[in-house]
């Protein structure tokens, strides 16, 4: 791969010089730093770099006084979809101190407007105040985070796993999704390509059932189950002894609960059926989570939370779903789908919700082969140049459309209702309207999906007129709502839609007063947090907050249980 490029654009020569010197000072060893003084020259250069297959990592452009930057940034996306686009906010003078948010932006809203608009419309991934000096560490922190995000998006020179499989194989898609969502870098090679055949020969696996996984250690896995893949990366061990807290689900709620129980000295095991990070892990950019003013990708948030829980001593496994919870003496036994068993004194349920399925002929057969449930942000780049349809009209559908439109030639949102406004945030509606390659078909639903080995066409019906047409489609992402994952705990009190009822709400269901701790369920010592809880706000921040409350409740429950039994269960560090 040729040396990746960081491109700086500014029409003020002094500023352009100062930013490029700062970048060269720190990054010239690993990146080419290119400076251009106009949008036209920058676009020409970006075209040349694309033709040479030279990757562009960062495009930093000053807020131009003309409207030029919006147009420029829109075109960057078409030329280099993985490039992180950054709006540079110029300093008022060379002696202006390095402030996180420059005073000029805080004092005058009209100065801040182009920056805020570019963020809201998704024209940039971030903004950065121009560096005050070559050693402006605040500036470099922002740049490093963007470089790290880019490295996560592009195929790796040194992947942890090479996957060799037939194109369009549903199992290969599942494995890539599993690895991508668990932040394990992989490289996919088609078994029909010369490099794929060569890799299979070198691994002596030409006759092995596909997909074949070649691990960085040299170990070969042929058509492996998820548990085997988890074991290869140390994500499959279950504690043999009874743990203080078992947490089911490793989304934001479960990981937050784990940080809060493990940091209080409780032995904590997190059981996850597929991917650390949960739904949030599949979000391309979370902008409303406190502490990340320029947003954070779901994958980065999940990796950080996982590491934080691990650093306090929580054990993590992604060995498969927990499919039964049984009272057992003074605690509970959890049965896993794999046949494994874990015993715990208390349990936190943070299993979130599952996507609602779209019932139409062909959908099940083509799931994983052009039809996908969820936003699959880790694979959005695979839609390069294609026409992708998205069924759904809520925020998750809008975010997926914006993300996929970075790569796809065209994205069409299929909404059953007459407009998007009812269930989608206004900022997203505006972002969709501002994105040239996204269109919306209202009062429309999918009535059939068809294709030989993968999705080729969709049949759509207009619910008002009854007219039907069949359109060519490379992919369909289905984001049409969700149901809580609670069917494995039939004995727990749930509301009419299946969400788990907790705390004071239980008093309506259980008489007399239940006296339960906050977030405790109808089963003593079993707590619920996040999307799965009745009345929850379906957001990352609220899931994290609820996880913290459930963790604190578990600590309180075990401490009082310990006092009752005159034995110390929880030993704060």
Ligand X SMILES: Cc1cc2nc3c(=O)[nH]c(=O)nc-3n(C[C@H](O)[C@H](O)[C@H](O)COP(=O)(O)OP(=O)(O)OC[C@H]3O[C@@H](n4cnc5c(N)ncnc54)[C@H](O)[C@@H]3O)c2cc1C
| Residues 315, 394: Cα–Cα separation, whole Å | 35
Region near ligand X per CB under 6 A, out of 15-23, 51-59, 82-90, 348-356: 348-356
* 42 interacts with ligand X by CB under 6 A: no
Answer for which of 69, 273, 343, 494 binds ligand X (CB under 6 A) is: 273
Angle at 323 between CA 318 and CA 324, to 5 degrees: 125
* 172 interacts with ligand X by CB under 6 A: no
| Residues 461, 381: Cα–Cα separation, whole Å | 29
Q: Are 472 and 457 in contact (CB under 8 A)?
A: yes
- Bond from prior residue into 512 cis (ω within 30 degrees of 0): yes
Choice between 254 and 331, CB closer to ligand X = 254
Choice between 8 and 271, CB closer to ligand X = 271
| Residues 245, 554: Cα–Cα separation, whole Å | 7
Which among 559, 567, 570 has a CA at the least distance from the CA of 517? 559
Q: What φ, ψ does residue 558 adopt, rounded to 5°? A: -70, -35
Binding mask 398-427 for ligand X (x = CB under 6 A): -xx---------------------------
Which among 489, 240, 172, 155 has a CA at the least distance from the CA of 347? 489
Distances in Å between the Cα of 109 and the Cα atoms of 47, 91, 231, 441 are 35, 16, 53, 36
- Could you tell me which residues are beta bridge partners of residue 248? 271, 349
Residues from 493 through 552 that contact ligand X (CB under 6 A): 530-532, 538-541, 543
Question: Taking the C-alpha atoms of 538, 410, 417 and 534 in order, what is their torsion angle to the nearest 10 degrees?
Answer: -10
At closest approach, how far in Å is the CB of 377 from ligand X? Answer: 7
At closest approach, how far in Å is the CB of 488 from ligand X? Answer: 5
Write the CB contacts of 34 (distance below 8 Å, at least 6 apart in sequence). 5, 6, 7, 8, 45
Answer for which of 135, 193, 198, 288 binds ligand X (CB under 6 A) is: 288
* 62 interacts with ligand X by CB under 6 A: no
* 375 interacts with ligand X by CB under 6 A: yes
Choice between 211 and 530, CB closer to ligand X = 530
Are β-strands 410-414 and 32-36 bridged in parallel, bridged antiparallel, or unpaired?
unpaired
Choice between 381 and 443, CB closer to ligand X = 381
Answer for which of 136, 177, 264, 272 binds ligand X (CB under 6 A) is: 272
* 163 interacts with ligand X by CB under 6 A: no
Size of the site for ligand X (CB under 6 A): 39
* 280 interacts with ligand X by CB under 6 A: yes
Answer for which of 129, 142, 224, 249 binds ligand X (CB under 6 A) is: 249
Residues from 447 through 486 that contact ligand X (CB under 6 A): 485
Binding site for ligand X (CB under 6 A): 248-254, 271-275, 278-280, 282-283, 286, 288, 321-322, 350-353, 375, 396, 399-400, 485, 488, 530-532, 538-541, 543
């Amino acid at each position: 791969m040729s040396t990746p490029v960081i491109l700086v654009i500014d029409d003020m020569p002094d500023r352009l010089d100062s930013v490029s010197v700062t970048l060269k000072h720190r990054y010239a060893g690993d990146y080419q730093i290119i400076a251009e003084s106009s949008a036209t020259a920058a676009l020409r250069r970006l075209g040349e770099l694309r033709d040479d297959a030279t990757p562009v990592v960062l495009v930093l452009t000053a807020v131009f006084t003309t409207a030029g930057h919006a147009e420029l940034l829109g075109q960057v996306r078409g030329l280099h979809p993985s490039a992180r686009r950054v709006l540079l906010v110029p300093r008022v003078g060379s002696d202006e101190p390095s402030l996180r948010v420059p005073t000029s932006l805080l004092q005058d809203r009209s100065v801040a407007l182009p920056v805020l608009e570019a963020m809201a419309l998704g024209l940039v991934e971030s903004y950065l105040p121009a560096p005050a000096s070559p050693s402006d560490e605040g500036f470099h922190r922002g740049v490093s985070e963007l470089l790290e995000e880019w490295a996560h998006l592009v195929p790796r020179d040194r992947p942890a796993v090479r996957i060799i499989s037939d194109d369009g194989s549903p199992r290969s898609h599942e494995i890539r999704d599993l690895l991508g969502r668990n932040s394990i870098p992989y490289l996919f090679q088609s078994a029909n390509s010369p490099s794929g055949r060569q890799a299979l020969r070198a691994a002596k696996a030409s006759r092995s059932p596909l997909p074949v996984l070649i691990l960085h250690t040299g170990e070969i896995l042929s058509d492996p189950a998820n548990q085997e893949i988890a074991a290869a990366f140390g994500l499959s061990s279950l504690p043999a002894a009874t743990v203080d807290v078992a947490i089911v689900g490793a989304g934001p709620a479960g990981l937050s609960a784990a940080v809060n129980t493990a940091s209080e000295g409780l032995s904590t095991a997190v059981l996850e059926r597929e991917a650390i990070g949960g739904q949030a892990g599949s979000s391309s950019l979370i902008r409303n989570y406190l502490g990340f003013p320029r947003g954070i990708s779901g994958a980065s948030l999940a990796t950080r939370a996982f590491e934080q829980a691990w650093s306090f001593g929580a054990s993590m496994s992604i060995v498969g779903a927990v499919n039964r919870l049984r009272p057992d003496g003074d605690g509970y036994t959890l049965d896993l789908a794999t046949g494994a068993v874990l015993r715990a004194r208390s349990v936190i349920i943070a299993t979130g919700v599952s996507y609602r399925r779209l019932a139409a002929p062909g959908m099940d057969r083509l799931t994983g082969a052009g039809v996908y449930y969820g936003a699959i942000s880790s694979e959005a780049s695979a839609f390069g140049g294609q026409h992708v349809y998205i069924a759904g009209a809520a925020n998750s559908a809008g975010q997926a459309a914006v993300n996929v439109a970075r790569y796809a030639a065209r994205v069409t949102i299929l909404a059953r209702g007459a407009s998007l406004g009812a269930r989608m945030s206004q900022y997203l509606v505006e972002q969709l309207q501002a994105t040239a390659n996204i269109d919306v078909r209202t009062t429309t639903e999918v009535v059939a999906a068809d294709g030989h080995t993968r999705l080729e066409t969709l049949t759509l019906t207009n619910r008002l007129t009854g007219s039907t047409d069949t359109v060519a489609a490379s992919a369909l992402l289905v984001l049409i709502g969700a149901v809580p994952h609670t069917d494995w705990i039939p004995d727990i009190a749930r509301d009419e839609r299946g969400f788990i009822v907790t705390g004071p709400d239980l008093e309506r269901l259980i008489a007399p007063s239940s006296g339960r701790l906050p977030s405790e369920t109808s089963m003593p010592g079993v707590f619920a947090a996040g999307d799965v809880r009745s009345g929850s706000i379906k957001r990352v921040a609220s899931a994290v907050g609820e996880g913290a409350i459930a963790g604190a409740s578990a600590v309180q429950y075990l401490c009082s249980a310990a006092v009752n039994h005159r034995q110390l269960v929880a030993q704060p560090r």
